[in-house]
């Protein structure tokens, strides 16, 4: 979802304004900051439900809130948030920590499924949205699992923005709008994601072509023509 061109709704703009007002506060308790972020995103319709703080797989580690969907009979994280009271207020790096939670959930899924539905599992690249909230900043990242896990920070939104800084305010509103669209799309599609995907997640290339009559013809890759 294009951060440069998406058009925020009035509700998105209101949510960002609320997030600026509440997220810039100084919190003595990290739990309060986490609860504030969770409530603002839910009440602003950015998340379809309240992100719950839960344990990851069979471990004793829990995140700062996540949303899950059932896929092939196993719950999969499609949204996870990591919160710090202020920047550098903890020993661990929040982005790495959130990535580890997501990867551990992927491992848990693969352990649960084993060799069952291998063809469908190979189509699943475990897409997820990661939100980081540290002091007056909110970061948004995306994660997918192809032949290797990949996570990228897409933007960082400063909440301490002057009311006359229109460019920064508009960028923040677009980021919140894109976050809403991405989360709701994953929520809606995850349960049937393997039915609608074509190629394997670790080899995302077409294995068919359509002729002029719209009929699909399958083919198999046997060798590389160019060594690239």
CA distances from 182 to 2, 17, 194, 218, 220 (A): 10, 20, 18, 31, 33
Looking at every residue in the chain, the average pLDDT score rounds to 87
- Judged by DSSP in three states, 155 sits in strand
Query: pLDDT band for position 138 (50/70/90)?
Result: very high
DSSP letter (8 states) at residue 179: H
Query: pLDDT band for position 226 (50/70/90)?
Result: low
Residue found by looking up tokens 């991405």 in the block? 182
* CA–CA distance, 94 with 88 (Å, rounded to integer): 9
Residue found by looking up tokens 């294009």 in the block? 2
Query: pLDDT band for position 144 (50/70/90)?
Result: very high
Report pLDDT digits (tens) over 96-123.
999 999 999 999 988 887 666 777 777 7
Is 196 a residue whose pLDDT tops 70?
Answer: no
Alpha-carbon dihedral angle through residues 146, 151, 154, 157, given to the nearest 10 degrees: 150
- Judged by DSSP in three states, 183 sits in helix
**What's residue 200's pLDDT?**
57
Average pLDDT over residues 82-87: 87
**What's residue 181's pLDDT?**
96
* CA–CA distance, 202 with 106 (Å, rounded to integer): 14
């Amino acid at each position: 979802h294009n951060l440069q061109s998406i058009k925020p709704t009035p509700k998105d703009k209101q949510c960002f304004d609320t997030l600026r007002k509440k997220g810039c506060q100084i919190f003595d308790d990290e739990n309060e900051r986490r609860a504030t972020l969770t409530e603002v995103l839910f009440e602003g319709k950015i998340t379809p439900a309240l992100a719950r703080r839960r344990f990851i797989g069979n471990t004793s580690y829990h995140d700062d809130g996540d949303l899950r969907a059932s896929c092939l009979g196993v719950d999969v994280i499609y949204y996870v948030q990591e919160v710090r009271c202020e920047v550098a207020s903890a020993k661990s790096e929040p982005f790495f920590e959130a990535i580890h939670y997501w990867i551990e959930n992927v491992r848990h899924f693969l352990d649960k499924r084993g060799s069952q539905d291998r063809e469908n599992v190979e189509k699943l690249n475990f897409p997820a949205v990661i939100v980081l909230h540290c002091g007056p900043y909110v970061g948004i990242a995306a994660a997918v699992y192809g032949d290797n896990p990949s996570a990228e920070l897409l933007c960082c939104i400063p909440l301490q923005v002057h009311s006359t800084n229109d460019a920064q305010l508009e960028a923040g509103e677009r980021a919140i709008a894109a976050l809403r669209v991405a989360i709701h799309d994953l929520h809606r599609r995850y349960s049937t994601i393997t039915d609608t995907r074509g190629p394997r997640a670790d080899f995302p290339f077409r294995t068919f072509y359509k002729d002029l009559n719209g009929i699909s013809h399958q083919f198999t890759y046997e060798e590389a023509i160019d060594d690239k």
